[in-house]
Structure 1
């Protein structure tokens, strides 16, 4: 996907296109990269998500709001959103990152998405950045279940299956890529009885398992069991 195509998907037309290019530039590609924009976008994202949760859930405690925000701004969530946009196809990566498939590494995708939020803030102001985050998170806001706050995806999936007397899922490591200090794991979550197999990626086996469990849980709840 071209950067123009990605801009259409996120629904924002940059006044300063150079900011958008910088947001998509990994440090392996150029000295003028997205690290500072990612720092800015991270702060913007945390505030915007916190404000949205405060407005949408007036009865939740501070602790529950904090836990819910943590779920929404974590690497796995950000990389999932980025993959939905095919953001990796528009990244500018150095030769090493290209050889190690850096365009699909969760940490690289998450950082780039935060950098885009930072770039939109610099280009169009707070209202533009807020509107972007609300668009990106629209479906996630609809799926929020306050009862699940504080429980990780693997625990939720386990409770769901145990409540229906089904066997627990199997987690299989399919691939490990990258250098020892910056590895990416790809894990499959398999539930034979429900004919479910999902995949998750992360910078550790645990993160990848949680990502695959989250997808499996959503599928199971939405329709596999009535």
Structure 2
């Protein structure tokens, strides 16, 4: 049994994402998708926890959509997305806009309720629920708690539902834009609970779905809490007509939708693992079709020879399974890219701080071009969405593994170098590494080495370091101080334009000897 439609406190559910995982395990679910409204914050919150649960997990979201003009009367449409990259900049930008819109919408709802005579404030709602995204369910719940209504349904039916006195329109994107966003992020777009849509005639739903299929729709949510068996059969037939996936879920919201249980809906819902496997197969199929123009857009570079970029994205696991599509893996490019990245970042560091010595520059560069550092760059480019992996690596989450991301980043850098030369790749790397270089230099300059070595000396030797001014050099208006530090039997010297700076330098030099791996 699986559930591919679940909401947490990241939108309008009552359970935290981690609590959802625990509930899913208790319910015996085999697979799960967290599909918060216009938010992927909950998924990011539990990424490190997911691996410890015996549940197959796929990224999810439910995007609020505006229907096409000819179906305007339908009101709000919801588009589910599955298996997309969490790092796609365009998708993240739209979701961030939706979050801001929700934050702007809530006070307007409260204001309308106040005008209707209800004593309720936004501060009360946030204090009471503390959700990442407070919304209408939280406001409605507080209304019930304060005795202004008997139930959620009453609040929405009388005050906050569509066309009611406290209703405020929400931020929505077009259905076609939502489909494109999900596809471009490497995901599968699925129309949520189509059985709830009220069309004017029998042709309405097939025509509407056909319109969305032309835009790239990949599935229908056939198995849903409020779909009766007749609706499920009708929707399954429609999905078959358009070669669409059939998915399903409970639309679980916790206490904000009482009577609907995770995985079971109102008791009759049962979505099998075969649905999840079909979803993952479609996802793998979509991912196997290169969308190199998207990566070129994120790189802000157009290749003369796209085969170089294709080769850079070919992991050895993909080559083993697809030798007819990929002649060689990206490991030779990775070798070259490692050297190019090191050269460019080294030049950036030398230019940014001419006072740094060779040893200091080497340590800083090692941090910036480490596996973690390069994986961060890869995520910034949404590189994982484009990597070609074998089925085993893909289904085990290889698109977000630091090792694979960092290696592929180096391979892409090599492809850029071979295609456009040093100036082209250097321009791109300067843009990508500008903020990390500035951050690491600023962090290093503000590091309190004196406090660090004092704690170290007290812990290991039972005494504090001894500082002594050894020399003052230069004229009064431009002095340089030389200060020594003694820690037990160790002595080191530092220099600086002030005594404080010289003492910090001395402490740093002493730590370099005492703890060479820590700096």
Q: TM-score, normalised by structure 2?
A: 0.28
- 1 CA distance for matches of 2:442 and 2:363? 10
Paired residues, number: 154
Within 5 Å, give how 1:94-133 maps onto structure 2.
94-133=390-429
Alpha-carbon contact 1:117-1:132 (below 8 Å) kept: no
- 2 CA distance for matches of 1:46 and 1:134? 12
Deviations 1:94-142 (A, max 9, x none): 1111121111110000001000100011111111111121111122123
Show the counterpart of 1:196.
Answer: none
Structure 1 residue matching 2:318: 3-state secondary structure: coil
- 2 CA distance for matches of 1:77 and 1:44? 15
- Work out whether 1:85 is the aligned partner of 2:352: no
Q: How far apart are residue 146 of structure 1 and its match?
A: 5.3
Higher helix share: 1
Task: Work out which of the residue numbers 137, 141, 146 in structure 1 matches 2:433.
Answer: 137
Alpha-carbon contact 1:78-1:113 (below 8 Å) kept: yes
Alpha-carbon contact 2:311-2:328 (below 8 Å) kept: yes
Alpha-carbon contact 2:372-2:402 (below 8 Å) kept: yes
Alpha-carbon contact 1:10-1:136 (below 8 Å) kept: no
Q: What is the root-mean-square deviation of aligned Cα atoms in Å?
A: 2.2
Show the counterpart of 2:118.
Answer: none
Q: How far apart are residue 3 of structure 1 and its match?
A: 2.4
Bigger Cα Rg: 2
Show the counterpart of 1:64.
Answer: 360
- 1 CA distance for matches of 2:434 and 2:393? 31
Deviations 1:65-117 (A, max 9, x none): 11111111000011011112211011111111112111111000000100010
Alpha-carbon contact 1:19-1:123 (below 8 Å) kept: yes
Task: Work out which of the residue numbers 20, 25, 32 in structure 1 matches 2:309.
Answer: 20
Q: How far apart are residue 147 of structure 1 and its match?
A: 5.6
Show the counterpart of 2:297.
Answer: 8
- 2 CA distance for matches of 1:8 and 1:141? 23
**Structure 1 runs of 4+ with >4 Å offset:** none
- 2 CA distance for matches of 1:145 and 1:120? 27
- 1 CA distance for matches of 2:443 and 2:395? 43
Show the counterpart of 1:210.
Answer: none
The answer to which structure, 1 or 2, has the higher relative contact order (CA under 8 A, 6+ apart) is 1
- 1 CA distance for matches of 2:443 and 2:377? 23
Structure 2 alignment gaps of length 5 or more: 1-184, 186-290, 320-326, 456-519
Show the counterpart of 2:341.
Answer: 45
Task: Work out which of the residue numbers 371, 381, 386 in structure 2 matches 1:75.
Answer: 371
Structure 1 alignment gaps of length 5 or more: 163-226
Segment drifting more, 67-76 vs 132-141: 132-141
Show the counterpart of 1:217.
Answer: none
Alpha-carbon contact 1:41-1:118 (below 8 Å) kept: yes
Q: TM-score, normalised by structure 1?
A: 0.63
